[in-house]
Structure 1
Amino acid sequence: MDFKDYYKILGVEPTADDKAIKASYRKLARKYHPDVSKEAGAEEKFKEANEAYEVLKSPEKRAEYDELRKYGQQGRPFQPPPGWQSRAGAGAGAGGFGGEDMGDFSDFFSSIFGGRAQQGGRARSTGRRGQDVEMELAIFLEETLATESKQVSFKVPQYNPAGQRMADITKTLNVKIPAGVVDGERIRLKGQGAPGVAGGENGDLYLIIRLAPHPQFDVEGHDLIITVPLAPWEAALGAKVAVPTLTGKINLTIRPDSQTGQRLRVKGNGLLDKKGQRGDLYAQIKVVMPSSTDEATKALWQALADKAAFDPRAQWSK
Structure 2
Amino acid sequence: MAADRRDFYEILGVARTATPEEIQRAYRTLARRNHPDVNKEPGAEDRFKDVTEAYDVLSDPKSRRKYDRFGSRWRQVPDDIDERAGARQRASAGAGPPGQGAGFGGRGGRGGLGEEVDLEDLLGSIFGGGQGRGGDRFGRGPVPGADTEAEITISVEDAYHGGRRRVTLPGGPGGRTREYEVTIPPGVTEGQRIRLAGQGSGGARGGPAGDLYLVVHIAPHPRYKLSGRDINVETPVTPWEAELGATVPIETPGGTLRVDIPPGTSSGRRLRLRGRGLPNPRGTPGDLYAEVRIMVPPKPSDAERRLFEELATVSSYNPRGDR
When normalised by structure 1's length, the TM-score is 0.52
Structure with more helix by fraction = 2
8 Å contact 1:246–1:269 — kept in the other structure?
no
Alignment of 1:17-32 (within 5 A): none
Question: For 2:258, which of 232, 246, 251 is the aligned residue?
Answer: 251
Q: CA deviation at 1:173?
A: 2.8
Q: CA deviation at 1:126?
A: 4.0
Which residue number in structure 1 is paired with residue 306 of structure 2?
A: 299
1:223 aligns with 2:235: no
Aligned residues: 189
Q: CA deviation at 1:231?
A: 1.3
Structure 2, gaps ≥5 residues long: 1-78, 81-138
Alignment of 1:224-303 (within 5 A): 224-273=231-280, 275-293=282-300, 296-303=303-310
Give the letter aligned to residue 226 of structure 1.
V
Q: CA deviation at 1:238?
A: 1.7
Identity percentage of aligned residues: 36
Which residue number in structure 1 is paired with residue 128 of structure 2?
A: none
Query: Residues 237 and 188 of structure 1: is their aligned pair in 2 closer, same or farther, counting only changes over 3 Å?
Result: same
Q: CA deviation at 1:228?
A: 0.6
Which residue number in structure 1 is paired with residue 95 of structure 2?
A: none
Structure 1, gaps ≥5 residues long: 1-86, 89-123, 159-166
Equivalent-residue separation in structure 2 for 1:213 and 1:207 (angstroms): 19
8 Å contact 1:183–1:211 — kept in the other structure?
yes
Which residue number in structure 1 is paired with residue 202 of structure 2?
A: 195
Equivalent-residue separation in structure 2 for 1:157 and 1:313 (angstroms): 63
Deviating 4+ runs (over 6 angstroms): none
Greater relative contact order (CA < 8 Å, ≥ 6 in sequence): 1
Equivalent-residue separation in structure 2 for 1:126 and 1:156 (angstroms): 27
Give the letter aligned to residue 243 of structure 1.
I
Which residue number in structure 1 is paired with residue 100 of structure 2?
A: none
Question: For 1:150, which of 161, 165, 173 is the aligned residue?
Answer: 165
1:176 aligns with 2:191: no
Alignment of 1:83-98 (within 5 A): none
Equivalent-residue separation in structure 1 for 2:265 and 2:310 (angstroms): 21
Select between 255-264 and 272-281 the one with higher mean Cα deviation: 272-281
Q: CA deviation at 1:241?
A: 0.9
Which residue number in structure 1 is paired with residue 104 of structure 2?
A: none
Equivalent-residue separation in structure 1 for 2:316 and 2:306 (angstroms): 15
* Aligned-pair Cα RMSD in Å: 3.0
8 Å contact 2:163–2:186 — kept in the other structure?
no
8 Å contact 2:232–2:290 — kept in the other structure?
yes
Q: Secondary structure at the match of 1:313?
A: coil
8 Å contact 1:131–1:195 — kept in the other structure?
yes
Query: Residues 296 and 145 of structure 1: is their aligned pair in 2 closer, same or farther, counting only changes over 3 Å?
Result: closer
Query: Residues 170 and 295 of structure 1: is their aligned pair in 2 closer, same or farther, counting only changes over 3 Å?
Result: closer
Q: CA deviation at 1:189?
A: 2.7
Equivalent-residue separation in structure 2 for 1:149 and 1:229 (angstroms): 34
Q: CA deviation at 1:232?
A: 0.9
Deviation per CA, 1:256-306, whole angstroms, max 9, x where unpaired? 211111111112210123624321111011111221335553332121112
Which residue number in structure 1 is paired with residue 59 of structure 2?
A: none
Q: Secondary structure at the match of 1:174?
A: strand
Which residue number in structure 2 is paired with residue 134 of structure 1?
A: 149
